[in-house]
Amino acid sequence: MFIYSRRMFTGLLGGAAFALACAAGLPASAQVKNLDLIAPANPGGGWDQTARAMQTALQQAGLVSSVQVMNIAGAGGTVGLAQFVTSKKRRGDAILVAGQTLQGAIITHKSPVTLNDITPLARLVGEYEILFVPANSPITSLDDLVAKLKSDPGSVSWGGGSIASTDHIIAGLIAKTVGVDPAKINYIAHSGGGEALGAILGGHVTVGIGGYGEYQSVITDGKARALAISSEQRLPGVDIPTLREQGVDVAFFNWRGLMAPPGIRDADRKALADAIARMVASPAWKGTVEKRQWTDLYQPADQFAAFIKEDRAKMEGILTDLGLAK
């Protein structure tokens, strides 16, 4: 059994209520005029969606005058991370959207730049992942997929994000759980959700993996069929069976957070952190979280910094176990 669950993330936080309490105690002068939000992937994926949802919420709440989203794709987010460190150093007007996928890419690419080189601001949200196929796929159930995987692992191509992303990890965990060598899985990496979706709906891969909020529209529209979701239990209002209830004992939870540049002044860091705390408590952001079926995982900077270290250790263990890191 493998479980990487919401409970691992919630010991240090009180969710939306905690964010609201923090926001209520902020000075009214906390204000950021202009902000660059860096999504280290192509448009359409989870980081990009998070950045654009933040752009809307920050401006609707009057917390930032101007917000620009910038996409810098490559190597699982490590290209964007490196550029963020070099080009935004000491600046108080930039935020990088980070997450578990970036953590994995840093490990597998042996990136000289890590999350230790930038400044934690806040953990924001998390979401469960779905396995899905085009509506016309001959695979109609998770049992069909598992049978095909066991018969010929290479015949199942998994379409998702970058190497060592949450998508890749889930594919490896499923293979391991059903008795297939994770090293034999045929994983097709993509640099953004839009690119991945095109390959999945176009039938260029057997099955897609990604965040439920990222792909729920194609399920609702009938363009794709969901086979399973990686939650421990079925999500309220979401008619997708879990992996566990279908005999594949895997549960896994993704997270996304925000980082400021290295060397940022304390006053600038506080202004950014205050703006994020207020955003998390805003109706615009709460509405987005509910609509996209994200889970509120808000943590302020100090708690988020401790979480990052713990998550790094967990990810190193998982990736080594799956043969994705040495």
The first and second tokens of residue 34, run together, are 């202009």
**111-168 residue pLDDT tens:** 999 999 999 999 999 999 999 999 999 999 999 999 999 999 999 999 999 899 999 9
Q: What is the pTM of this model?
A: 0.84
As a whole number of angstroms, the distance between CA 318 and CA 324 comes to 8
- Count of all residues that appear for the chain in the document: 326
Indicate whether 285 and 296 sit together in one domain. Answer: yes
Indicate whether 19 and 68 sit together in one domain. Answer: yes
The answer to whether 227 touches 139, Cβ cutoff 8 Å, is yes
User: Where does the chain have alpha helices with state H?
Assistant: 15-24, 46-60, 78-87, 100-108, 142-151, 166-177, 193-201, 212-220, 266-280, 283-291, 301-321
Paired residues of 215 in beta bridges: none
Domain boundary among 201, 222, 252: 252
As a whole number of angstroms, the distance between CA 157 and CA 205 comes to 5
Contacting residues for 259 by C-beta, under 8 A, at least 6 apart? 84, 95, 96, 98, 115, 118, 119, 120, 121
Phi/psi at 246 (nearest 5 deg)? -105, 15
Indicate whether 141 and 101 sit together in one domain. Answer: no
pLDDT (0 to 100) of residue 38: 98
Indicate whether 238 and 277 sit together in one domain. Answer: no
Indicate whether 9 and 93 sit together in one domain. Answer: yes
Q: Give how many domains the chain has, as a whole number.
A: 2
| Confidence band for 44, pLDDT divided at 50, 70 and 90 | confident
The answer to whether 286 touches 206, Cβ cutoff 8 Å, is no
**Type of residue at 86:** T
Dihedral class, residue 179 (left if φ above 0, else alpha if ψ from -120 to 50, else beta): left
CATH number at residue 222: 3.40.190.10
Question: Is residue 6 pLDDT above 90, yes or no?
Answer: no
As a whole number of angstroms, the distance between CA 196 and CA 130 comes to 14
| Confidence band for 14, pLDDT divided at 50, 70 and 90 | very low
As a whole number of angstroms, the distance between CA 124 and CA 134 comes to 31
Q: Looking at the domain assignment, is residue 13 inside a domain?
A: yes
As a whole number of angstroms, the distance between CA 220 and CA 232 comes to 22
**100-119 residue pLDDT tens:** 999 999 999 999 999 999 99
**298-322 residue pLDDT tens:** 999 999 999 999 999 999 999 998 8
Indicate whether 93 and 161 sit together in one domain. Answer: no
Q: Looking at the domain assignment, is residue 7 inside a domain?
A: yes
Q: How far apart are the first and last CA of the chain?
A: 23
Largest Cα span, the chain: 63
Question: Is residue 28 pLDDT above 60, yes or no?
Answer: no
Q: What is the CA radius of gyration of the chain?
A: 19
Domain boundary among 237, 252, 267: 252
Q: Looking at the domain assignment, is residue 152 inside a domain?
A: yes
Dihedral class, residue 314 (left if φ above 0, else alpha if ψ from -120 to 50, else beta): alpha
As a whole number of angstroms, the distance between CA 297 and CA 88 comes to 26
Whose tokens are 């713990």? That residue is 310
Give the β-pairing of 119-127 and 295-300. antiparallel
Indicate whether 146 and 113 sit together in one domain. Answer: no
Indicate whether 236 and 262 sit together in one domain. Answer: no
Q: Looking at the domain assignment, is residue 174 inside a domain?
A: yes
What percent of the chain stands above pLDDT 90? 82
Lowest mean pLDDT among 2-6, 55-59, 60-64: 2-6
As a whole number of angstroms, the distance between CA 311 and CA 115 comes to 11
| Confidence band for 253, pLDDT divided at 50, 70 and 90 | confident
Indicate whether 196 and 104 sit together in one domain. Answer: no
Indicate whether 114 and 205 sit together in one domain. Answer: no
As a whole number of angstroms, the distance between CA 32 and CA 105 comes to 31
List the domain range (segments joined by +) for residue 281: 2-126+255-321
Q: Looking at the domain assignment, is residue 326 inside a domain?
A: no
CATH number at residue 6: 3.40.190.150
Indicate whether 107 and 142 sit together in one domain. Answer: no
